[in-house]
Structure 1
Amino acid sequence: MNNRHPVHLVDAPLDPWQLPLIEKKASFSRLEASRLSADSTTLLASSAEILATLYYGVLRIRHADPEWPDRDRFAFGGRTTAAALAPLLADLGFCPRSHLDRNPQLVLGFEGQPGPIRLPGVDFGSGSADVALPVGVGMATAACLAGRQYRTFVLLDENQWQEGRMWEAALVAGRHALGNLIAIVNHSKQSPHEGLVDTDSPERCADKWAHFGWDVFHVDGHDVTALLPLLRGLQLAHRSAPAVVIARTDEAFSHERHPLGNLRDAASAPSDGIVDCRPG
């Protein structure tokens, strides 16, 4: 951690079935994304566990009521994130699964990005590298002004560290102490920038986030046993600063490292449509 002051996370109890379920959904996401997308499997692998943890263990969402005012907000940037997320949203009932097979591009949306108009379940998605965090800051600010208790999660990748508008948004969030904002940086070990721009290394960027007033956490982005308690703890805690989780991932991470038996049977298990981990 690179925290300016002690952060006390809520120790939320975990149901014993959640961890294996999330791992299976992550592998399902990876398999479906590689089937539907023209990209290689390695490009789609890195965010699967992060997305599955959010959607099956952390976010308060209702597929029957996508515009529920007290739902947690989720924003992201990145085309490969969209490809990995679309199967999970279909699995949760936000859109018919048949849409994935009939027209993957319709589900993935404009330039591979699902958005609030094309696909419920996502509050904002964009291929522009520097837009997601500014939008997330706006969502978190709106919650404060309206007196609502929802949290805003923003999934970024390390390529966005190159963008000035993202850092401007980070500075604004820290200055206004947006404790309801959680950013997750998917830092892949195979990033094309790693080793070329030393000022954008995870260690340097962690110091920059902390300097801008954020609480900084590090986690293995493929380890669900670490991701789930950390993200849920950040969601449940009442904090006075925004939080950023730097998740180290590997684009070559393969579902073959986790044999899961009949994956598609597990992925087709019925859902009640509500993932509600925080008291209303």
Structure 2
Amino acid sequence: MDTTELLKKVRKIEIKTKGLSNHIFSGEYHSAFKGRGMSFSEVREYTFGDDVRTIDWNVTARFSHPYVKVFEEERELTVMLLVDISKSALFGSVQQTKRDLITEICAVLSFSAIHNHDKVGVVFFSNGIEKYIPPKKGSSHTLRIIRDLLSMEATRPGTDIAAALRFFNNAVKKKSIVFLLSDFFADGYEDALQIVARKHDLIGIHVYDPHEKELPAVGLVKMMDAETGETLWLDTLDAQVRKKYAAQFQQHVQYCRNAFTRSGASLISIRTDEDYVRILQGFFVRRI
């Protein structure tokens, strides 16, 4: 992609997603996340109706009278995007590829954060860390993120979600809102997921194509693994082949759901032919 074409794509994404962010997501984003970032302010004596979970047991023991911790809303949040750019994300059988959808969602989230005066940063990963953009404010910073979302390519095959989570946990110490965007064709990331979810507000966004869920019955098809380049032929008219294919996808989805449930993190699934605006809005509203 040459510079002129890249700039045209950046501008197109900016116009579409900035409008969505300003006119649709700004209220939902603010309500869903503002107020969830709380910092310790002081302690005071317990009064009837206070949440017992806020009791400071050390101070209470010292004065033999219950005291509670008082928190105040942090004025500024940090939003981190952990973006899977592995080659499997280049697949798409309908309007757009998984990578296209991930790019749009990241742009919307970035503009929503900037609109609410928050910082945004990105970790691009495949089978390792491809690039890290530290969190900053400002529209020019967001446009840099969009440019990289459009132009970044994986330099190694495979997907290592655990490595991305570990890198983020070491690089960003402040409690953050973390969006992990991937097709999640990986395993072995449960422990890293739990560690990040203990400290940060972690939301997974599982992006998938309808033909990954179910094979169309169109005859003999040559399939290629985007990560390894390996190919095989499948007879899609064979009902057993389609059944096994669908079962493998469901197994993959269930693994992902179980990992997020056990870690206490949230998970959203969005198909490439679905209205991601409606799905994200619904998720934000449920968090209010």
Give the TM-score, by structure 1 length.
0.40
More strand by share: 2
Q: Which structure's relative contact order is higher, taking Cα pairs within 8 Å and 6+ residues apart?
A: 1
Bigger Rg, which one: 2
Give the TM-score, by structure 2 length.
0.40
